[in-house]
């Protein structure tokens, strides 16, 4: 693990020297913050926690792109094989991707909270422990999912295409852009089959409803399970060499990444908690000034 920490420090330094990374991990989330809170908030403090939860979710989900994409570049340029000659394990390499992503997401999250409080009159921080847990598990989950894509694609171009496809699914079908209750029923059901929904709903609940950690146990459990499985799979799939073709076994592993989500979705469909909670939070802020929110 000592090596993972060394690599984390190096990768953070490299990321901070990369303008594109700074744009996507700091400038873009802050622009979204002003867009959501400034325009859709209409100067009212009431919807701020709900809208901030969406912006936080987008910030956390951004780790799906983050440093995992950098890993593809490293592999294609033969940088990874230089590390492979040294006593560095795949686990240390992957853990450093996730950890550096996490450490660089945190300042953005804190800045978002500070701006919401100072400029948009956020009255309460919400359940801070719950927020920390959701942000942490969310970052790990999305970073690890990004690593899986990085391992099964052979070029940067392929990675971008698959990432875009998944990304729009995460955005559109989670409540991070369009509130879940405003979607047709069947799409709401479908939303329960992907991790982003658990992150968004969880954040909405601790920030709007200010519920206890125990009450978001299903969301935390879903994200923890996703994070653990995604990390194990990414470790199984990790490739050092650019020319090494993705073996069939690897594709099966990658495909098995959907199993926890199928189970979660099935469980959620049977219990129906997630939809009800999303609706309750949405209504609690949408009732007084429904027209304030995007439809």
Residues of the shown chain interacting with other proteins in the complex, contacts defined by CB under 8 A: 2-3, 6-7, 10, 13-14, 17-18, 74, 77-79, 81-82, 84-88, 240-241
The SS3 assignment for 245 reads: coil
Rounded Cα distance, 71 and 80, in Å:
8
Q: How far is the CB of 21 from other proteins (least distance, A)?
A: 10
The contacts of residue 102 (CB under 8 Å, 6+ apart) are: 63, 136, 139, 140, 143
Q: Which is nearer to other proteins, 28 or 79 (CB)?
A: 79
Q: Which is nearer to other proteins, 46 or 88 (CB)?
A: 88
Give the ranges where 211-291 is alpha helix by DSSP (H).
217-237, 248-256, 259-271, 273-286
Q: Which is nearer to other proteins, 6 or 212 (CB)?
A: 6
Q: Which is nearer to other proteins, 9 or 290 (CB)?
A: 9
Q: How far is the CB of 81 from other proteins (least distance, A)?
A: 6
Q: How far is the CB of 240 from other proteins (least distance, A)?
A: 8
Rounded Cα distance, 74 and 81, in Å:
9
Q: How far is the CB of 85 from other proteins (least distance, A)?
A: 5
Q: Which tokens in the block code for residue 69? A: 């994409």
Q: How far is the CB of 30 from other proteins (least distance, A)?
A: 23
**Torsions phi, psi of 226, nearest 5?**
-60, -45
Q: Which is nearer to other proteins, 82 or 290 (CB)?
A: 82
Find the distance separating the first CA and the last CA of the chain, reported in whole Å. Answer: 47
């Amino acid at each position: 693990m000592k090596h993972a920490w060394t690599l984390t420090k190096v990768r953070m330094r490299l990321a901070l020297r990369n303008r594109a990374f700074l744009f996507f991990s700091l400038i873009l989330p802050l622009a979204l913050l002003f867009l959501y809170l400034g325009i859709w908030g209409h100067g009212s403090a009431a919807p701020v926690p709900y809208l901030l939860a969406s912006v936080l979710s987008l910030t956390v989900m951004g780790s799906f792109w983050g440093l995992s994409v950098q890993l593809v570049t490293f592999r294609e340029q033969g940088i990874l094989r230089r590390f492979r000659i040294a006593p560095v394990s795949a686990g240390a390499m992957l853990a450093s991707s996730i950890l550096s992503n996490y450490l660089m997401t945190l300042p953005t999250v804190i800045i978002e909270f500070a701006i919401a409080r100072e400029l948009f009159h956020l009255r309460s921080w919400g359940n801070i422990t719950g927020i920390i847990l959701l942000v942490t598990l969310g970052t790990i989950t999305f970073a690890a999912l990004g690593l899986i894509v990085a391992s099964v694609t052979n070029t940067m171009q392929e990675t971008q295409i698959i990432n875009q496809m998944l990304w729009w699914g995460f955005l559109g079908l989670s409540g991070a852009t369009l509130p879940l209750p405003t979607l047709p029923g069947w799409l709401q059901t479908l939303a329960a089959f992907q991790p982003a929904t658990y992150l968004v709903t969880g954040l909405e609940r601790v920030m709007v409803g200010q519920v206890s950690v125990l009450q978001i146990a299903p969301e935390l459990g879903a994200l923890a399970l996703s994070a653990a499985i995604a990390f194990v799979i990414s470790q199984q799939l990790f490739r050092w060499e650019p020319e090494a073709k993705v073996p069939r076994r690897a594709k099966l592993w990658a495909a098995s990444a959907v199993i926890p989500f199928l189970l979660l979705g099935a469980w959620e469909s049977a219990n129906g908690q997630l939809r009800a909670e999303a609706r309750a939070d949405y209504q609690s802020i949408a009732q007084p000034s429904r027209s304030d929110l995007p439809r």
